[in-house]
Chains A and B, each alone.
Chain A
Amino acid sequence: MKENDLLLQVEGLKVYFSLTEGLLFQRGGGAVKAVDGLDFSVRKGETLGLVGESGCGKSTTGQAILLLYPPTAGRVIFDGVNLCSLDARSLRRMRRQFQIVFQDPYASLNPRMTVGDILSEPLEVHGLARGKECTDRVRELLSLVGMPSHFAQRYPHELSGGQRQRIGVARALAVEPVFMVCDEPVSSLDVSIQSQIINLFEDLQERLGLTYLFISHDLSVVRHISDRVAVMYLGKIVELANRNDLYYYPLHPYTKALLSAVPIADPDVEAKRERIILKGEVPSPVNPPSGCHFRTRCPIAEPWCSEVEPEFRDIGEEHWAACHKI
């Protein structure tokens, strides 16, 4: 793969949140290792899916690569520029190129602003349009996400969940980004509305040549939309491969268990499936298990899995996994 095919490179990314106890007499209480050493890259024009269960660090990853959280360690290289080395002004200028769509369209739109205000704000912040130009651009953005232009006068509470999410997407598109982090963008929507928004994401990618990092806990949605998929567990990527390779030939025991746990809307298929039921729950990211993070729930763990941390390596044909037993 050529270097210039890569839009985003993440190297050794770590995000720790320090825990302090007490208000007056603060004592150190360790740190939540939300993201604990990630290496991956996103190619131009592709959709990289990032899946995992709650608390695995997938949303933190999405926000850290946009530097919404300062990384504790590691580098984020966007289009050849190391974002971590930029000063505030240059970073702000760079931000035009990458945007984020959040999960909850109820919480991420300001209830006191009209749709028109919400969409023109980023245009003004980045000095892209003013006055009449701005109104035209708002209309254009609304039509891009399939909404009639008179919605510019409405307030978020007047919109349904699906419509709000369209506004969230339009706001991200206002500054003409090349890269979008989509953080659980369809999870709070009803199933019949979900597919409308998924199709919107696909259409926009085709029309505008966007690159997505698509974060979700829903493995079926991620399979549908992604070109490649990364699976996270307790702050680490355990497996990363092409969509088909990952779903047809999962290598990591966690990926296998995760895939087997997802119900399929087909009674005959369900009757024949074998479930790998994982025991117990995800350990605390404050004090993750030694060695392989997954070993406490792993059905095939060996004693030495607790001693040596498995290396995240290319098993062949760009199928990456971190497990001693592969």
Chain B
Amino acid sequence: MASKAPLLQVRNLRTHFHTRDGVVKAVDGVSFDLREGEALGIVGESGCGKSVSALSIMKLIPSPPGQVTAEGIVFEGQNLLPLNENQMRKVRGAKIAMVFQDPMTSLNPVLTVGWQICESLKLHLGMTQVQARARAIELLRVVGIPSPQDRIEDYPHQFSGGMRQRVMIAMAIACNPRLLIADEATTALDVTIQAQIIDLVKRLRGETGASVMWITHDLGIVAGLCDRVNVMYAGRLVESAPVRNIYYRPSHAYTLGLLQAVPRLDEGPKKRLLPIEGAPPDLIDMSSLCPFLPRCHLAQEICHHEPPRVREVEPHHTAACWTDMQRLWTEKS
């Protein structure tokens, strides 16, 4: 795993929005790698910057008010930062594709789904209308839409929520992208439909070998789907580790807090939940200290004076927290 070069390298990504009230640091110095074939989960609560990071990588942040800076967003060895809009269009859809939370607002309501799938096939792969149509039908079949040859002429409103999300996935995988970014792709769906979509993504990943970046607030989905997890809080990447380490040996007080706060389906006898007190901070005029400090029950003296550095707590596992929690887990086991 470690020998392969990363598919995507993000270094010191900062996305700031200039508003009347001040500068909102939506993403503030995020660095991570995503390996070829890896499924990376990005976890955090609303406003933590997980979606904005993905949009920044895709260069979909409108400027102004947004301002994206980074030391590098390197995809397949190519730095995306200096690319202009035309060059970027060749990357989007073809190499990196995105599935959004709400399929109704991300599909064009006045065009048939067939038209919308064919568009990228013709644009990126230079297919003719006939070829594109045949491929579009094939894609709809792959994502599990019954009688695709009839449904291809239908408009988005004629599909249910789950089916629309399948259409979105068909569009996303149309050009065999190397990276599929799913931004809360199942949040609007019911659990039984969510299970269908996750099953589909797992199957497609096995077939195409594409990498997946799965953005969600649901720690359960990540546990079953991802190889690696990034935890974000208030615009910063607070912890990054292989999936088992995040759940069994978390090294940031926020990650631990999240895991303890969520009720589990396989919960035993009734016991009180341990909530994280307080609320996430305002992203305007943030101090450089740990953003979780006001809510942290593990905070120490040093947390009030010095911002935590991102450090490697064990191989492949980094965290930005002063508290040495690894010792805790080692003692426990």
Question: Residues of A with Cβ closer than 8 Å to B?
Answer: 53-54, 160, 162, 190-196, 198-199, 202, 217, 219-221, 223-225, 247, 257-271, 273, 275, 277-278, 281-282
Closest to A225 in B: B263
Q: Are A160 and B220 in contact (CB under 8 A)?
A: no
Question: Whole-angstrom distance from the CB of A301 to the nearest CB of chain B?
Answer: 16
Are A269 and B272 in touch, CB under 8 angstroms? no
Pairwise interchain contact B247-A266, C-beta atoms closer than 8 A: yes
How long is the Cα–Cα vector from A193 to B47 in the complex, in angstroms? Answer: 14
B229's nearest neighbour on chain A, judged by CB, is A267
Chain A contacts for B123, CB-based, 8 A: none
Expressed in whole angstroms, the minimum distance between the Cβ of A273 and any Cβ of chain B is 8
Bound Cα distance A166, B274 (Å): 18
A263 to B247: give the CA distance in the assembly, Å: 14
Chain B residue, CB-CB nearest to A52: B190
- Inter-chain contact B262/A195, CB cutoff 8 Å: yes
- If A219-B191, A258-B191 touch, whether A281 touches B247 (CB-CB below 8 Å) is no
**A280-B71 Cα distance, complex, nearest whole Å:** 46
Cβ of B78 within 8 Å of any chain A Cβ, yes or no, is no
How close is B45's CB to chain A, nearest CB, in angstroms?
Answer: 4
Q: Which residues B187-234 have CB closer than 8 A to chain A?
A: 190-196, 198-199, 217-224
Tell whether A267 pairs with B267 under 8 Å between CB atoms, given A53-B191, A281-B160: no
22 contacts between A and B (CB under 8 A): A162-B279, A190-B46, A191-B217, A192-B276, A192-B280, A194-B262, A194-B275, A195-B261, A195-B263, A198-B273, A202-B272, A259-B265, A261-B192, A262-B265, A263-B223, A264-B265, A265-B247, A270-B223, A277-B196, A277-B199, A278-B192, A281-B162
User: Is the beta-carbon distance between B272 and A199 smaller than 8 angstroms?
Assistant: yes
Known A162-B279, A190-B45, A277-B196: A265·B220 in contact at CB below 8 Å: yes
Please, how many angstroms separate the alpha-carbon atoms of A220 and B190 in the complex? 14
Q: How far is the CA of A278 from the CA of B190 in the complex (A)?
A: 12
Query: B265 to A195, Cβ gap below 8 A?
Result: no
Question: Looking across the interface, which residue of chain B has its beta carbon closest to that of A271?
Answer: B224
**B244 CB–A CB distance under 8 Å:** yes
Cβ < 8 Å to A, chain B residues 257-289: 257-259, 261-267, 270, 272-277, 279-280
Is there an interface contact between A220 and B273, defined as CB atoms closer than 8 Å? no
Apart from A265-B222, A266-B266, what are 17 other A-B pairs with CB-CB below 8 Å? A191-B45, A191-B258, A192-B280, A195-B273, A195-B275, A199-B272, A199-B275, A220-B263, A220-B265, A224-B270, A259-B265, A261-B192, A263-B223, A264-B264, A266-B264, A277-B192, A277-B199
Chain B interface (Cβ within 8 Å of chain A)?
A: 45-46, 160, 162-163, 190-196, 198-199, 217-224, 243-244, 247-248, 257-259, 261-267, 270, 272-277, 279-280
- With both chains docked as a complex, state the minimum distance between the C-beta of A166 and any C-beta of chain B, in angstroms: 12
Instruction: Known A223-B263, A265-B259, A267-B224; judge A277-B195 contact (CB<8 A).
Output: yes
Return the contact of B223 from the options A162, A194, A220, A267 (Cβ within 8 A).
A267
Question: B263: which of A53, A198, A278, A282 is its contact (CB, 8 Å)?
Answer: A198
Q: How far is the CB of B94 from chain A (nearest CB, A)?
A: 31
- Expressed in whole angstroms, the Cα–Cα distance for A219 and B191 within the complex equals 9
Residues of B within 8 A of A277 (CB): 192, 195-196, 199
Contact A221 B263 (CB under 8 A): yes
* 6 nearest A-B pairs in the assembled complex, by CB-CB distance: A263-B220, A270-B224, A224-B263, A195-B275, A265-B219, A261-B195
**Across the interface, do A266 and B223 meet the contact criterion of CB distance under 8 Å?**
yes
Contact between B217 and A263, CB atoms less than 8 A apart = no
Main secondary structure of the interface of A (DSSP, over half): helix
Chain A contacts of B244 at CB under 8 A? 267-268
Residue of A nearest to B196 (CB): A277
CA distance A301 to B110 in the complex (A): 39
CA–CA, A224 to B277, complex, Å? 19
- Which single residue of chain A is at the shortest CB-CB distance from B46? A190
Identify the closest chain A residue to B268 (Cβ). A244
- Pairwise interchain contact B190-A264, C-beta atoms closer than 8 A: no
Pairwise interchain contact A263-B45, C-beta atoms closer than 8 A: no
Residues of B within 8 A of A196 (CB): 275, 277
| B243 adjacent to A267 (CB under 8 Å) | yes
A223 lies within 8 A of B45 (CB): no
In angstroms, how far is the closest chain B Cβ from the Cβ of A300?
A: 16
> Do the beta carbons of B264 and A220 come within 8 Å of each other?
yes
Residues in A whose Cβ lies below 8 Å from that of B217: 190-191
Query: Which A residues touch B219, using CB under 8 A?
Result: 191, 265
Report whether A269 and B218 are in contact in the complex, using a CB–CB cutoff of 8 Å: no
Collect the chain A residues with CB atoms within 8 Å of residue B45's CB: 190-192
Q: Which residues of A contact B162 (CB under 8 A)?
A: 281
Contact A224 B273 (CB under 8 A): yes
Query: Do residues B199 and A192 form an inter-chain contact, with CB atoms below 8 A?
Result: no
Find chain A residues with CB under 8 A from B198 CB: 263
Given contacts A198-B273, A224-B270, A265-B223, contact A192 B261 (CB under 8 A): yes
CB neighbours (8 Å) of B258 from chain A are 191-192
A53 contacts across to B, CB distance below 8 A: 190-192
